[in-house]
Chain A
Amino acid sequence: MSLVARRYTPQIIVTIIILLSIAFYYLYINRDVAGAFSTADKALSDWAVIITSFALIVGGIDILRFHLTKVRKEGLKQAPFSLVSIGLLVTMVIFALIGWYISYSNPAAGIAITTQPQFRWLYLNLYAPADAAVYSILVFYIASASYRAFRVRNPMALLLLVTALIVVFGNTTIGGVVWPGFLPLRDWIMTVPNTAAFRPITIGAGLGTVVLGLRLLTWRETSWMGRRE
């Protein structure tokens, strides 16, 4: 296929959608146009939801392919673990599909994709505790990171340490017992210096987003297209 279909047409789609999206938002023509834009805008958001759903399914299939490849290449050493992943992935999807089927064949049962009993059992007893454990395990890494970050090597590190201690003591009951001033001091830090410190970062991130949008508009940003021809 020609380069037009492979690269230029997707870029033209990006340009048109971004331009229309910005133009009708910032330029008010009349009430009818604004109403039509609002309807089209809602439809476009739904388009994105539909495409994202397919992307999630593609991602799930990627994980399946990854583990199948591992089973094939690494043999008995990795196979039991990968088979556990594959088995649970397929089981979850089968239960979800059963829930989907029931939601149409017997709507009175009140069962949907995510409320199918076996799916819910797996979610509550396997996914939820594992998810919570994986995220909370970071506290141990944070502990070692804080040891490194809070070593006072220069005045900046000292400021970091003092602020962190004040905020920690201000957030805990023991802080109030040690010195009642921790709470108001923490409140002041969060309202004044903390707000001011993150303001330039927010502005910078905003400028970055605008620049990224402009790069997409001018076809300079092409990394989203993946591999090059």
Chain B
Amino acid sequence: MIGWDVIGAWLCAAMVVWIYSFVYRDNVFYKIAEHMFVGTAAGYSIALALDSLNRVLVSPAVRSPHTFWSASWHYVIPAILGVLMFTKYSKKYYWLARYAVAVNIAVGSGLALRTVPIANIVRQITATIVPLWGSDPVKTLNNWILVLITLGGLTYFIFTTFPKKAEGVKPSLTYLVYRGLYYIGIYGMMVGFGALFANTIMTRVGFLISVYLIYIQPQALASAIAAVLTAAAIILGILRKR
């Protein structure tokens, strides 16, 4: 007797192989897997939304109505605003959906304006203020590199003011300093991007290996059958186009 666990395992392996088949060529099994993924992903996100609504709004209102209506009655307002989002399908009342978006935009922006100036600006600047002369030469060199690349990157991102080099005249000191920092910034960022790209490659390869170990390798037979089906679909597709 084939149980749901076995069917599930075969489905897992088939989904992975069918999605990977796109690397070679688009085919009918890839399309099926893609649409299955889209359907389940949309259904899953709706279920998560229902779960959030239940946790924040419905469950407190149903399980302890007295406390809810005395302390958290105002949660009805965002619920009404949320329902208003469905007016976006109306040609006449679409603008009502803006009220809900306005609250969300404002809450997000308000939170960002409180945390970002400290975390992204002030702390980054204070972390760059480091001693440039000291007894430890390695630390001093590292500090110089840190400061110069940071200043260089900032110089690179100032697009509005760039000192012009006059024709036939020896370049000014401002121009030379600016130009020097500009190049230090570019080269520093190349090092950063190289490291970032390498880390991305490593993460993706690690992910690929884990997908192989979790879904493909334990269900080798299912994966092989899914691969054969996909190969047949690709060959049929090529023959039909001819």
Tell whether, in the assembled complex, residue B53 and residue A50 are in contact, meaning their CB atoms are under 8 Å apart.
yes
Please report which residues of chain B, range 117-146, place their CB below 8 angstroms from some CB of chain A when the two chains form the complex. Answer: 117, 119-121, 124-125, 127-128, 142, 145-146
B172 contacts the other chain (CB 8 A)? no
Which residues of chain B from 211 to 240 have any CB-CB distance to chain A below 8 Å in the complex? 211, 214-215
Q: Is the interface of B mostly helix, strand, loop or mixed?
A: helix
15 CB < 8 A contacts A-B = A14-B102, A47-B78, A50-B79, A63-B42, A87-B39, A96-B47, A96-B51, A126-B12, A131-B37, A132-B207, A132-B214, A156-B187, A193-B188, A196-B146, A210-B121
A176-229: which residues lie under 8 A (CB-CB) from chain B? 188-207, 209-210, 212-213, 216, 224-227, 229
Tier of interface size on chain B: 35 or more
CA distance A44 to B23 in the complex (A): 45
Give per-residue flags for A141-161: 1 if the beta carbon is below 8 A from chain B beta carbons, else 0.
010001001000001110111
A14, B112: Cβ atoms under 8 Å?
Answer: no
A81–B153 touching, CB < 8 Å: no
Question: Could you say which residues of chain A place their CB within 8 Å of the CB of B119?
Answer: 206
Interface of chain A, main secondary structure:
helix
Contact of B180 with A by CB under 8 A:
no
- Asked if A93 meets B194 with Cβ closer than 8 Å, knowing A58-B86, A58-B88, A121-B4, the reply is no
Q: Which of A11, A18, A58 contacts B109 (CB 8 A)?
A: A18
Q: Is A36 an interface residue (CB 8 A)?
A: no
Chain A contact patch, size range: 35 or more
**A14-B105, A82-B35, A136-B204 known, 12 other contacts, Cβ within 8 Å:** A13-B102, A47-B107, A57-B46, A85-B35, A114-B48, A133-B211, A137-B22, A142-B200, A160-B190, A188-B142, A194-B195, A197-B153
In the bound complex, residues from chain A placing their C-beta under 8 Å from that of B145 are 192-193, 196
- Cα(A47)–Cα(B77), bound, Å: 8
Q: Which residue of B lies closest to A112 (CB)?
A: B51
B16 and A10 contacting across the interface, CB-CB below 8 Å: no
Within 8 A of A (CB), among B41-70: 41-54, 56-57, 62
Known: A84-B35, A88-B39, A159-B191. A137 touches B101 (CB 8 A): no
Do B43 and A130 touch across chains, with their CB atoms under 8 A apart?
no
B185 lies within 8 A of A200 (CB): yes
A108 interface contact, C-beta 8 A? no
Does B39 lie within 8 Å of A86, measured CB to CB?
yes
In the complex formed, the residue of A with least CB distance to B186 is A156
Asked if A225 contacts B15 (CB within 8 A), the reply is no
Measuring CB to CB, which residues of chain B are less than 8 angstroms from any residue of chain A? 4, 7-9, 11-13, 15-16, 19-20, 22-23, 31-54, 56-57, 62, 72, 74-75, 77-79, 81-83, 85-86, 88, 94-95, 97-114, 116-117, 119-121, 124-125, 127-128, 142, 145-150, 152-154, 156-157, 185-202, 204-205, 207-208, 210-211, 214-215
Q: Known: A13-B103, A18-B110. Contact between A196 and B36, CB under 8 A?
A: no
Contacts of A110 in B (CB 8 A): none
